[in-house]
Amino acid sequence: MADSVPELGQIPTGDFPVQTDSIKQRVEEVLLWVDSLEEKLKQVEDFYSSIGVSNSASRHVVGIRKVQQEAARREAVAAKRMNDLIRQFGTIFRQITQHKCAWPFLHPVNVQGLGLHDYYEIIDKPMDFGTIKNQMEAKDGTGYKHVMQIHADMRLVFENAMKYNEELSEVYSMAKTLLVKFEEKWVHFLPKVQEEDKIREEEEKQAAMEALIAKEASHTKTTRELSNEICNADEELEKLRHVVVERCRKITTEEKRNIGLAFLKLSPDDLQKVLSIVAQADSNFQTRAEEVNIEMDALDEPTLWRLKFFVKDALDKMKKKEEERAKTGDSKGTQNNKRNASNKLAERRAKRTRL
């Protein structure tokens, strides 16, 4: 939520001219506060637009904490089911590793002992049955998370052997024999894996939907809180208007006339802001009519003071911009004069040369 602005009572007391800047600053603070709240409301509206929710009240609302607890429970159940699958896969693993052709692959390749100096140049990721067994039995969280990871490592054992050894070698033949047997057994086991993946996919969709609904509920709560804060900000502005009315002198007839004349000097954008200020004080005021008349005598004191401050600031800003443009123009004029003088000097020198 937005930080609260200073309390009204913090505005210093004393002569009104001394307080004018403080009150004006206070108004600007509250307006900035409202702008920040409206920006947050827009973010909430964008959220609802992005998910296409038209009637959130009719949907089942689940708390974020409950969603997190349910996600943790679902994850634990899914992990248990996967551990069961890995244990079932252990039967296939034992059948393959106990085969008469399995002995070369039971332990990591003895690269140095066998003098296989180019082994790591050919094989990117060595793998063996002993390493697979250790990961299947790991209890510290470093083991396999999915049975498909074991399948991939089993294939890697055979593929490494067939990649490094000659096709007519005994090790190549043993690896190929085991690969065929392994894939035959895997085909029968695969439907269980696919069923588990399907269950997980459905659970993930359900979890995503519950998280979305919980987030929607959170945004609904945020909307209510922001709306309350905006109302508080409006009340703060109203208090400030009363302070100004109570402590300000009345705007004179001459000042009203000067404010009206200043309107003629304002830009279209600033004029539109003037109309907005008047409309805030009079709900019946039509800002988009073809011809708009502002009755200065009909405006209340807070509105007149707001117009006075606004017109002064707008004219000051316009004056600064004109001064900056004038400085830029003078600089360009000086550069052009220097360039012209240089050109004339070059022409005179050229004439003397021709003579």
Question: Do 169 and 303 fall into the same domain?
Answer: no
Say if CB 315 and CB 265 are below 8 A apart. Answer: yes
179, 211, 243 - which closes a domain: 211
The 3-state DSSP class for residue 146 equals coil
Whether residue 109 is predicted with pLDDT greater than 80 in this model: the reply is yes
Same domain, 294 and 194: no
pLDDT tens readout for residues 177-202:
999 999 999 999 999 999 999 988 88
How far is CA 81 from its chain centroid? 36
pLDDT in tens, 210-236: 766 666 666 566 666 776 777 777 777
Residue 341 domain-assigned (yes or no) = no
pLDDT given at position 130: 96
| pLDDT over 70, % of the chain | 69
Q: Is the pLDDT of residue 145 over 80?
A: yes
Residues 168 and 282 both lie in one domain: no
Residue 355 covered by a domain: no
Please tell me whether residues 90 and 178 are part of one structural domain: yes
Residue 144 lies in domain: 64-211
Per-residue confidence at 59, pLDDT binned at 50, 70, 90?
Answer: very low
Query: What is the rounded average pLDDT of the residues 333-349?
Result: 59
CATH code, 305: 1.20.1270.220
Q: Are residues 93 and 201 in the same domain?
A: yes
Same domain, 163 and 272: no
Last residue of a domain, one of 183, 211, 239: 211
Inform me whether the pLDDT recorded for 246 exceeds 90.
Answer: no
In the predicted structure, residue 63 carries a pLDDT above the cut 70: no
Kindly state whether residue 42 falls inside one of the protein's structural domains.
Answer: no
Helix ranges, the chain (H): 16-51, 64-97, 119-122, 129-137, 147-164, 170-247, 253-263, 268-281, 301-354
Quick one: pLDDT band at residue 62, thresholds 50, 70, 90? very low
Q: Is residue 103 part of a domain?
A: yes
Eight-state DSSP code of residue 113: T
pTM beyond 0.85: the answer is: no
* Domain assignment of residue 201, yes or no: yes
| Rounded mean pLDDT, 41-62 | 54
Q: What is the pLDDT of residue 65?
A: 67
CB 131 within 8 A of CB 208: no
Residue 114 sits in the same domain as residue 188: yes
Instruction: Tell me if 350 is assigned to some domain.
Output: no
**pLDDT tier at 48 (50, 70, 90 boundaries)?**
low
Per-residue pLDDT for 336 more than 60? yes
User: Would you say the C-alpha torsion 275, 278, 280, 282 has a positive or negative sign?
Assistant: negative
Number of domains in the chain: 2
State residue 273's pLDDT score: 86
Rounded Cα–Cα distance for residues 16 and 22 (Å): 10
Backbone angles phi, psi at 295, to 5 degrees: -85, 100
- Looking at residue 158, what is its pLDDT? 96
Q: Does the residue 346 lie in any domain? A: no
Residue 351 lies in a domain: no
Query: Which of 211, 232, 264 is at the close of a domain?
Result: 211
CATH of the domain at 115: 1.20.920.10
Q: Is the pLDDT of residue 276 over 70?
A: yes
pLDDT band at 204 (very low <50, low <70, confident <90, very high): confident
